């Protein structure tokens, strides 16, 4: 992801929650961790298509709301033998969520 995409204001995402964004053909779930940092991953659970943005998170994992499989938010690796999810670079810049490097 070479281009930078501004997804919207940081205040769109409550602390500790996630919201889904459509970026081109991709659906991306962006999470605002309680330590203040952001994580962006594929919004679709590879197991049964669950909406990951509705999942609960902590400072390392997201838990899919449908069957409670979990993935590492930084690496995209499953902790329970599922295929990995895509991770995207994301950061906050001047109150805006910026996707890309």
Partner 1 sequence: MTQKLVVIGNGMAGARTVEEILARNGCFSVTMFGDEPYGNYNRIMLSNLLAGVETEEGIFLNDLAWYRENGITLNTGTRIERIDAAGKAVYDAEGNATPYDKLIIATGSYSWTPPIKGIHHPKRGYHQGVFAFRTLDDTRGMIRYARDHERAVVIGGGLLGLEAARGLQNHVSHVTLLHAMGHLMERQLDPKAGQMLQASVEGKLGIKVITNAMTTEILGKDRVTGVTLADGTVVECDVVVIAAGIRPNTGMVADSGLPVERGIVVDDQMRVRGHEDIYSVGECAQHRGNLYGLVGPLWEQARVLADHITGTAGVAYTGSKLHTKLKVAGIDVASMGLIAPEHDEDEVIVYNEPKKGVYKQLIIRDDVLVGATLVGDNSKAASLIRHFDRGTALPEERSELIFDIGGAVEASPEQMPDDTQVCNCNGVSKGAVCGAVAGGCATVGGVMDKTRAGKGCGTCKPLVQRIVEWANGGAAEEDPAASWYVPGVPMPKPELMAAIRKHRLTSVSSVFATLVPGGAEDAKSKMGLASLLKMMWGADYVDERDARFINDRVHGNIQKDGSFSVVPQMKGGVTTPAELKRIAEVAEKYRVPMVKLTGGQRIDLLGVPKEQLPAMWADLGMPSGYAYAKSFRTVKTCVGSDFCRFGVGDSTALGIAIEERYQGLEGPGKMKLAVTGCPRNCAEAYVKDLGVVAIDGGKWEIYVGGAAGAHIRKGDLLTTVGSADEVIRLTGRFLQYYRENANWLERTYAFVPRVGIDRIREIVVDDVDGIAAALDAAVEEAVQAYRDPWKERAEPATPGQFRTSLPLTVLPQVPVRS
State which of positions 68-87 bind partner 1 (CB under 8 A): 68-70, 79-81
CB of 43 to partner 1, least distance (A): 5
Cα–Cα distances (Å) from 36 to 2, 58, 97, in that order, read 24, 11, 12
Query: How far, CA to CA in Å, does 35 sit from each of 58, 71, 81?
Result: 9, 18, 27
13 binds partner 1 (CB under 8 A): yes
34 makes contact with partner 1 (CB under 8 A): yes
Question: Are residues 19 and 30 in contact, defined by beta-carbon separation less than 8 angstroms?
Answer: yes
Residues 38-67 that bind partner 1 (CB under 8 A): 43-44, 48-59, 61-63, 65-67
């Amino acid at each position: 992801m070479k281009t930078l995409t501004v997804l919207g204001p940081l205040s769109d995402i409550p602390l500790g929650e996630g919201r889904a964004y459509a970026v081109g053909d991709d659906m991306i779930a962006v999470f605002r961790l309680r330590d203040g940092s952001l994580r962006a991953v594929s919004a679709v659970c590879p197991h049964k298509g669950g909406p990951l943005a509705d999942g609960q998170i902590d400072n390392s994992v997201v838990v899919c709301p449908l069957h409670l499989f979990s993935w590492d938010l930084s690496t995209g690796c499953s902790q329970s033998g599922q295929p990995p999810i895509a991770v995207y670079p994301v950061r906050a810049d001047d109150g805006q969520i910026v996707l890309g490097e």
